[in-house]
Each structure stands twice: as C-alpha cells, then as structure tokens.
Amino acid sequence: MDVMTDPGTTGRFGAYGGRYVPESLIPACHEIEAAFREAWSDTEFRGRLTMLLSVYAGRPTPLTPAWRLSRELGITLLLKREDLTHTGSHKINNVIGQALLAQRMGKRRILAETGAGQHGVATATAAALLGLEATVFMGERDIERQELNVLRMEVLGAEVVPVTSGSRTLKDACNEAMRHWVSSVDDSYYCIGSVMGPHPYPWMVREFQRVIGEEAREQCAAELPYGVPDYVVACIGGGSNAVGTFAGFVDTAARLVGVEAEGGAAATFGRAGVLHGFRSLVLQNDDGQVTEAHSVAAGLDYPGIGPEHAHLRDAGRARYETVNDDEVIRALRRLAHTEGILAALESSHALAWVIRAAESGGIAPGSTVMLTLSGRGDKDIASIKEML
Amino acid sequence: MNASLEEFLIARRDTGRSLLVPYVTAGVTPKWTEVVHAYVDAGADAVEVGFPFSDPMLDGVTIQEASDRALAAGTTVRGILDEVATLDVDVPVVAMTYSNLVFQRSAAEFCAALRGSGLRGLIVPDSPLEEVGDLADAAAAEGLDLVLLAAPSSSRARLREIAGRSRGFVYALTRMGTTGEGGEISEQAARLGRELKELTDRPVLFGFGVAGPERAAELADHADGVVVASALMRRLLDGAGAGELGEYVSSIRRALDQGARWAVHPATAPSPTT
C-alpha cells in the first residue's frame, strides 16, 4: 500500500499536504527540505540524534503493561511510555531532530508555536542544549491554562510571546509563528511541533517521531505471543505521536486507531481545506472560515489534522474516533488509580476510547492493545482540579 | 469595459502614468462599496477587494483586524459577490483572498463566481507556483487574471517563472514580512522591481509597506506602480469615512503623478546632441 512513504518533492499524501505558503517562504521550505534529505541520509547526523535521544532524552522508553486495568477490561493493554522522556512528552523526539537540523543549517534562533506548552518546553530545552535562542508563540488562553509550562520555558531561557488574535489558542499561535518566520527567515528556523505545515514538515516530523513506533514494534515482538498487537491506538491533535506510532506498525496486521477530542475532531467532522500551509481535513463553516476547536486538552485544540492522517483515513488504513471531555477525565483518573500513572489529558483521549471500546465489545475480549501514552499529566493538575 | 485587467493596466501605464491600486476589506463597514467608489473617483487604476479569511497568514495586525471585523459582521463570500456586482466603476476590480476560500468547492466554481460578479483578477498569496496549477487553468478559462507574488527571496529562475505565469500584473513584495505600514524602502525592493521589469513587460506593482504618498512615489520609480492596503485600512479602522479615504488616495495619486514626471532626472535624460 502506498502509505507512509516519502511524499516526494511536492509533499503530497494522496490528495493532501503540499506547500501553501507565500512566495516569501518558498525558498526557506526548499532549503529545509534539502537540508533534511541530506541530514537524514548522513550516518553521522543520525548517530548524533540517536545518541542524544538515548543519553539526553532517555530513550528507549519502556513498554509498560497496564496490569490491573487490563484485567478489568479483559484485554492486554500495553503503554508506550513517552511520558517518561525528558520534558515529559513525545515532543522531545521531534525537537531534538529539528534543533540539530537548525544548527546544521547555521541558524541562530528557533521559532515555535505551542498549544499545551509541551512542544514549547521541548523547544526551549533543545535550544538550551544546543546553544540556540528560542522564541515560542502561545495563545493567551493557553497561557492561562498552562501557566506551569510558561514558567518552565522562561526558566529554560526561551522568550514566550502571547498571541492575542483570533481564538487565542494553538491555531492562532501557528499563524503568528508563520508571520514572524516570514520576517526573520534568514537567521531563524521554524520548528513546527506536529505533522503539519508546508512540505517538508509533515514528513520530516513523522520521520523524527517514527522512533516511537519502531521501538514499540520491537518491544511488542519481544513480549507478545504473536509479535504484533491487535490494536495500535494514539491520541490526535495535529497527530505527531500517532503518525510516529503508526509508522512502526503500518505494514503489520494491527488495526490503527487515532482518537480525537470531540470538539476538535477534524478527521471525523472536517472537510478538505487549506490551513497553515497544507491541504487536509479542517473544521470550518460553509464559507471556509476555520472554526475554533474546543477540548479540555489544550494540545488537542486544533481545527485541522496532519495531512497524512487524512490520507490514511481515505485509504482505509487507519480509523479515527472521538471521545468527550467527561470520558477523558474518567479515563485519566482510572489509570492513575489502577496503575499509578498520571497521563496527560491529551493521552487520556486514547485511553478513554480503549476503555469505551473494550467495555462495549468494540474491542474483542482477549485482544492486545498497544497505546502510546504521549505525555505525563503533571501540567494538567490545575485543569483536572477545576473539572472535578 | 471589455479589456482584461492586464490590458487595462498596460494601456494606462503606457500613457506614462504610475499605477495605483488601493485595497479595501469587503464587509469591514456596511458601506465598504462607497469606499471602492471613492478610490475610483480619486484616481485608482484598479481596486483590490479583500475577501476576509479567519486565518490570514500573510497579513499584519491592521488587515487582521479588518478581516476579524468583517467576519464578525457576518460577511460571506456570496454577500461580497452580490455587492461587487452592484459596483458601478470604470476600472477593474480584483479579489484578494486565501486558498481555503478559493478551494472550498473547486477553483473553477470560485473563479466562475468571481467573473459572474464582474471581478477581473484574483490574488491568492498562499498559493505559490507549486500549488497554482489548477487555479491558473480555472482562472484562464474564465478570463480572470491570476496575479502571482514575487518576493525578495525569490531566485532569478523563480522570478522568471512568476513573471511568465502571472497575469494582470506581478505583485512584488517590498520586503520579507507581512502586510503593514512602515519600514524603509530597501535596496532589495528596488532590485526586485528592476529584475522583474527586465523579465516581463507586464506591469509590476509593489505592495506591503507602502505607507504613504512619499513612499509610494519612491517605490513607483522602481516599477509601474503600487498597491496600498494597510495605510488605508488603518485610517478606516480609526474611523475615517469614504470621503477621507478618497482624499488620502488622491494625495497618493498626486505624489505618483509628480514622481512620474520627476522619474527622469535632468542629469540622466538623453542629451539633445546624442
């Protein structure tokens, strides 16, 4: 099947992807694509990345059986523990890769957008590690919701720029980061945090995140009687942890499931559109005005979805489900009680679907489920308190 | 008016005139069509009408604010097209909007709708050469001139392709950045204007940062004219009516007309003996 391959110079995933950016940014996109292609085939670059992911970010992350919850649900649930990486989410995988690339390209500064703040913290961290400056754009509403992550970024030496336009969340932070990038493209590198943006970003970010799926596949092969789980499940905002996870299993018989927040479910309720430099499924009104996403998880408040997910959906290789905020909070608490693991609200979406599907028979008893726990929930404690 | 946008602008330019294209965001006030008429009365050679989009990636704070205001007032594509159809102006009207509005149904349907309301051209800043294929075909089929952007960062090879494939005029960005006022006219803008003029006989108009009459006249020395957007929208958002905006456009018109006369410096004019 022609999925999860190199999208070529046009950056197409089926009908999706592309490079819908102003002419001013086209040379920068070409430069990044050329630099990434060269770096990705350079064993020294790959070696340096692998080394940093290991000694700095804490990879490989374990695959932890959810012993008690598995028994309650009548399935075998395995958790890929991205929450145990340095900075506490899968975002670090992508950011170390892109920061190394920025350094290789001779850039002085890294720009980033952030929703929940995890990508911003990861960017600030990688910038500090490699001696680069970091400027992070964050919606004013997210700044209020994720105060702790703002402080973390500032302590790490990054400048956090509040975005006051539009819905004051992730989509507006993306707009502002793009605007800033246009005017500083000579010395700044835009480090996009998910599988979105103009080509080569959706592909490049997938390649940097595929380490999740590749490790999980090896771990499953070592642990499971048939080597491959029946289900591979991950949450989706833009969809980077899901794409990285799916990349390790796309050529197996495993069923791939992406779980979106009900209020930000572009794969389920979106129509084809162009936003932030790429064509994909987008939540929008009849006139093409992009609508705001709403979710308890700031990291999933995005009205679009990575173009490769739209393609995987159309090709029938992955399916996309939604869960609501209440199910998410219940799932988060249940995992905390049964396993002593405090998952991020984002990751708890994937878990909420597994619980619902297992309890309703949607997942057959005795099935094996590999779920990527994309991040830890410490950042969400204040939000959770409000919801209780 | 049967001439295409390009034919119209070339005819005007060839009379020795610097071209002036003012911009208004459709729906920014209920009486925005009066602003269009005021521009034309003040000597505009074409008018650019912005179809507001929720996520205008290439726009600075002023056009963002104008777009937000128009959308909050319930502006729709259909509504704009109906109002454009009622315009009684003798210069071409050009639409400017983002890809998501253009590709809602299909580029062909969007272009047909624009043409049906009498629009003569279309500018889509987030559809660069790589993505412009279907849209260029659809526009050509409708006799709509699709204007392409050229940037200071564009390579010579890209400039050649942009100059060759753009219709109506070539929209030259004075700087790397978003729409908005201010900023000095850089040597890179002058160079871009000169390069494009070498590559094409199509009109080359500067846009972005054309902050007032002096700046407009200065820029027009390096190309065929200017697009003025944020300077006008700033005034409109601060309360200026169609009359005041028309006066402002007149002041730019005068500066351009004087600039055009001064364009040939006596010291560089051909000497009568040679």
Helix (H, G, I), strand (E, B) or coil at A255: strand
Res A301: pLDDT: 84
Pairing of the two strands A159-163 and A76-81:
unpaired
Contact residues of B toward A, CB < 8 A: 53-61, 64, 68, 71, 76-78, 98-101, 103-104, 125-131, 148-155, 158, 162, 173, 175-178
The answer as to whether B264 is a domain residue is: no
Res B262: pLDDT: 55
- pLDDT of B46 > 60? The answer is yes
Q: Residues A148, A244: one domain?
A: no
Res A92: pLDDT: 98
Q: Residues A113, A165: one domain?
A: yes
What are the phi and psi torsion angles at B197 (to 5°)?
-65, -35
Whether A246 contacts A336, CB under 8 Å? no
Please give the helix or strand (H or E) that residue A102 lies within, else none.
helix A91-104
pLDDT, average across residues A383-387: 81
Res A2: pLDDT: 65
Q: What is the pLDDT of residues A221-267, one digit of tens each?
A: 999 999 999 999 999 999 999 999 999 999 999 999 999 999 989 99
The answer as to whether B17 is a domain residue is: yes
Partner-chain residue, chosen from B103, B153, B162, that has the shortest CB–CB distance to A274: B103
Q: Rounded distance, CA B141 to CA B135, Å?
A: 10
Whether B217 contacts B255, CB under 8 Å? yes
Q: Report ipTM (2 d.p.).
A: 0.94
**Cβ neighbours of B54 in A, within 8 Å:** 166, 289-290
**Interchain CB distance below 8 Å, B100 and A175:** no
- pLDDT of B175 > 90? The answer is no
Q: Rounded distance, CA A158 to CA A176, Å?
A: 17
pLDDT confidence band for B176 (50 / 70 / 90): confident
- pLDDT of A310 > 90? The answer is yes
Res A19: pLDDT: 97
Look at chain A and report how many structural domains it folds into: 2
The answer as to whether B22 is a domain residue is: yes
Res B273: pLDDT: 42
B59 has catalytic annotation: yes
Q: Residues A192, A224: one domain?
A: no
Range from A49-58, A344-353, B42-51, B180-189 carrying the lowest mean pLDDT:
B180-189
Q: Rounded distance, CA A371 to CA A80, Å?
A: 6
Q: Residues A214, A359: one domain?
A: yes
- pLDDT of B267 > 90? The answer is no
A168 at interface of B, judged by CB pairs closer than 8 A: no
Whether A359 contacts A238, CB under 8 Å? no
Whether B204 contacts B197, CB under 8 Å? yes
Q: Rounded distance, CA A368 to CA B3, Å?
A: 68
pLDDT, average across residues A88-114: 97
Q: Rounded distance, CA B143 to CA B146, Å?
A: 9
Res B269: pLDDT: 46
pLDDT confidence band for B184 (50 / 70 / 90): low
- pLDDT of A15 > 80? The answer is yes
Q: Residues A272, A355: one domain?
A: yes
Q: What is the pLDDT of residues B77-126, one digit of tens each?
A: 999 999 999 999 999 999 999 999 999 989 999 999 999 999 999 999 99
Residues contacting B233, CB < 8 A, separation 6+: B23, B24, B25, B28, B62, B63, B65, B66
Partner-chain residue, chosen from A22, A273, A275, that has the shortest CB–CB distance to B58: A22
Q: Rounded distance, CA B262 to CA A75, Å?
A: 83
- pLDDT of B271 > 70? The answer is no
CA dihedral sign of residues A105, A107, A112, A118: positive
Residue range of the domain that includes A287: 58-89+210-387
What are the phi and psi torsion angles at B235 (to 5°)?
-65, -40
- pLDDT of A158 > 80? The answer is yes
Q: Residues A112, A123: one domain?
A: yes
pLDDT, average across residues A181-185: 91
- pLDDT of B261 > 60? The answer is no
The answer as to whether A302 is a domain residue is: yes
CA of residue A282 relative to chain centroid, distance: 17
The answer as to whether A196 is a domain residue is: yes
The answer as to whether A346 is a domain residue is: yes
The CATH number of the domain holding residue B65 is 3.20.20.70
The answer as to whether B91 is a domain residue is: yes
Measured N-to-C along each axis, helices A240-247 and A201-223 cross at an angle, to the nearest 10 degrees, of 50
pLDDT, average across residues A156-180: 92
CA of residue A342 relative to chain centroid, distance: 18
**Higher pLDDT, residue A261 or A148:** A261
Percent of chain A at pLDDT > 70 equals: 99
Whether A308 contacts A333, CB under 8 Å? no
Size of the A and B interface in Cβ pairs below 8 Å:
117
Res B260: pLDDT: 58
Which amino acid belongs to residue B265?
A: H
- Single out the residue in A201, A233, A256 at which a domain terminates: A201
Is B186 buried (19+), middle (13-18) or exposed (0-12) by CB count in 10 A? middle
Look at chain B and report how many structural domains it folds into: 1
pLDDT, average across residues B236-262: 91
Residues contacting A16, CB < 8 A, separation 6+: A272, A278, A279, A280, A281, A307, A308, A310, A311
Percent of chain B at pLDDT > 90 equals: 82
- Single out the residue in A201, A225, A259 at which a domain terminates: A201
CA dihedral sign of residues B220, B222, B223, B227: negative
Helix (H, G, I), strand (E, B) or coil at B15: coil
Q: What is the pLDDT of residues A76-95, one digit of tens each?
A: 999 999 999 999 999 999 99
Q: Rounded distance, CA A355 to CA A362, Å?
A: 10
Residue range of the domain that includes B222: 5-257
Q: Residues A190, A129: one domain?
A: yes
Q: What is the pLDDT of residues A186-213, one digit of tens each?
A: 999 999 999 999 999 999 999 999 999 9
Whether B215 contacts B175, CB under 8 Å? no
Whether A139 contacts A119, CB under 8 Å? no
